[in-house]
Amino acid sequence: MKRTLLTLLAALTLLPALADEGMWLPSLISTRIDDMRAKGFRLTAEEIYSINRASMKDAVVLFDGGCTGELISAEGLLLTNHHCGYDAIQAHSSVEHDYLTYGFWARTRAEELPNEKLNVKFLVRMEEITDRLAAGETAAEIIRAAEAEGTGYKAAVEQMYYGNQQFLFVYEQFDDVRLVAAPPSSIGKFGGDTDNWIWPRHTGDFSLFRIYASKENKPAAYSPDNVPYRPKKHFTISTKGVREGDFTMIYGFPGNTQEYILSDAVAYIAERSDPAKIAIRDGRLAIIAAAQAGDPALRIHYAAKHAAIANAWKKWQGEVLGITRRGTVAAKRDYEERFEAWAADKPAYRDVVRDLKAEYARVTEPYFAREITLETLRSLPAKYTDAERAEELFARREATERSLYRYLFGQYADRCPVQYQVPEFLDGVAADGSVEAFADRVFEEVWQGGATPLSDSLRAGVTRMTKHIGWLLGTDALRNLNSRRLNELYTLYIRGLREWDTTRAFYPDANLTLRVAYGSVAGYEYADGEYHTPQTTLDGIIAKDNPEIYDYDIPQRLRDLYATKEYGRWGVEIDGRRTVPVCFLATNHTTGGNSGSPVLNARGELVGLNFDRTWRSTMSDIAFDPTICRNIAVDIRYVLFVIDRVGDAGELIREMTLR
């Protein structure tokens, strides 16, 4: 009771200092550097981002278009999450070479495995081009000129603050990226879907790749003649470890946040969209899990699909829980009302909230129909490839694939607003007498291969309806509940907010561009009387170990090491026992895309690898609460321990710079 009271008083006292919200543009990090240094950071803004000298940005990559990775050696060795490399690991796996179950360790460079279509991008530079666009230059012209500057250059123009500012991002893309090492899934995915988004966590979520380049150190297509890339910078690794209160910094590519949306949009997410999508995925996961449980080959085949479905499914559950418990809808309504009171005598802004609400009322129904369509009809395969058909496994998949067709056709019929249901779907159900009969007819056509006029007609109808919804909303950029009119209104609304709320530290929503987030190692009050400390250890893995459950059946080598305590230099003394640190919590503001991001200490040294958030933290995409929002990282000492003592791959550690 005394511990709980002290923790609560500390949280209330320190709340302004611990409000580590924000995903900051690295080129503008000088505006935050004083706050970072006040919280313990010891380096300069130029050491974070510079175009004149090697800086931290040169050791960070956008990995495979949706994760982050970092360079940890002068020979192109790259660290990212196991779940980010999962598709590549699965693609190289088979029943004979089950790298998912047993792990993969390349003993020589020749054993490193190439990966078709896998690439990484380094940020070369970013610059604001708002004035250039206003002066008449086009985005296409600016992009074309930037891409002509170097080999493998890619460029994009991205909006910040709903178009109030525009930035050019120039990247250098490398296409020869090879798998070097992955721990067994019972380490890299320890706990599976059960532990996903949960604390305490004991997952060694890492994998290793290597970037290859031409002999001139330039991007090049895969070739046996390519050599390991020589980066401008790689991170030094700290083996000192972390303690509660230590400064931490995340450098990565967060994908999508909506910090400034109205209460109407938050209510839609928490009360309608997320619950419907969760329910649909409940059924999909049950069908796939049943197939996996009865057949080891199907377990491997469906592993990546199951993980992909389950990740968002569980995230949405935590998002709803966090929004509800925090009272986010009511808090946003109060904020909007106070803004409207300020804007009442300002013609530019006085109607913007009312107009936003009216537009939400117009677009919500068609957008919901689109979401249901994507979760159901559009999630089914349009065809099975010749390569799939040639596999012995193909026939064993039939019952599962048929069940998915029947289930998802039924969900579409039950949940999609009827006025937006595809005419071809309605006609097919009417002709066959039931949704299940129509699903069977479409499935048989697709499963048998050859001509698929029925399936093609249905898919064309779905495409046509999706385009119609895009036309109604005035945009095809629909990652979130959105429309062209909403974008226009939000441009005005955000401008007004920044004039009104002068004490708020505004930062642009995440959009898969490079960002800096910073905070500290910290536990939190999970529930009344229940404080979660910020560090887990190998003891917790052993406590969960269960040979009867795939996700908890750890390698025998790990059991043996625990029994003998032969941890080498990675063992530490905690509360009088010798163990190995595994994961830790921090207050950094993260989201999807930050998977694989380096967690750095006050000296810019690598101390961890970001891979998740706590369950209720998932609502930080919409509203960040410093009292409960925590990111989860693998302690770098556990990564090194697994490489060294489980993988027996000490040669990889010898490449690294340890301090």
CA-to-CA distance for 419 and 112, rounded, in angstroms?
53
Contacts of 378 (CB under 8 A, 6+ apart): 462, 466
How buried is 478 (Cβ within 10 angstroms: 0-12 exposed, 13-18 middle, 19+ buried)? middle
Alpha helices by DSSP H, 212-327: 263-268, 274-294, 296-301, 303-326
Helix 398-415 and helix 423-432: axis angle, to 10°?
110
CA-to-CA distance for 583 and 513, rounded, in angstroms?
26
Tokens standing for residue 347:
């013609």
Q: How far apart, in Å, are the Cα atoms of 227 and each of 69, 109, 588, 653?
A: 19, 10, 36, 19
Q: Which one of the listed residues 82, 83, 202, 234 is annotated catalytic?
A: 83
Angle at 597 between CA 591 and CA 599, to 5 degrees: 105
Contacts of 653 (CB under 8 A, 6+ apart): 640, 643, 644
- Largest Cα separation within the chain, whole Å, is 74
CA-to-CA distance for 554 and 652, rounded, in angstroms?
23
| Residue 595 annotated in active site | yes
- C-beta separation of 511 from 156 below 8 A: no
CA-to-CA distance for 332 and 335, rounded, in angstroms?
5
Burial 294-311 (b: 16+ CB within 10 A, else e): ebebbbbbbbbebbebbb
The strand pairing partners of 577, in sequence order, are 574
CA-to-CA distance for 402 and 399, rounded, in angstroms?
5
**What is the strand order of the sheet 535-537 is part of?**
515-520, 247-252, 598-600, 606-613, 631-635, 581-586, 535-537
Q: Which one of the listed residues 205, 246, 621, 635 is annotated catalytic?
A: 205
Tokens standing for residue 598:
């380096």
Q: Which one of the listed residues 93, 238, 595, 620 is annotated catalytic?
A: 595
| Residue 82 annotated in active site | no
- Amino acid (one-letter) located at 171: Y
Nearest to 408, CA basis, from 367, 439, 371, 383: 439
Q: How far apart, in Å, are the Cα atoms of 43 and each of 156, 236, 496, 605?
A: 29, 14, 35, 11
Helix 423-432 and helix 453-473: axis angle, to 10°?
140
Q: Does residue 137 sit in helix, strand or coil? A: coil
CA-to-CA distance for 422 and 28, rounded, in angstroms?
47
Pairing label, strands 247-252, 598-600? antiparallel
Dihedral of alpha carbons 510, 515, 518, 524, sign:
positive
Give the long-range contacts of residues 387-390, CB within 8 A, separation 24 or more: 389/449
The strand pairing partners of 658, in sequence order, are 237
Q: Which residues are catalytic?
A: 83, 205, 595
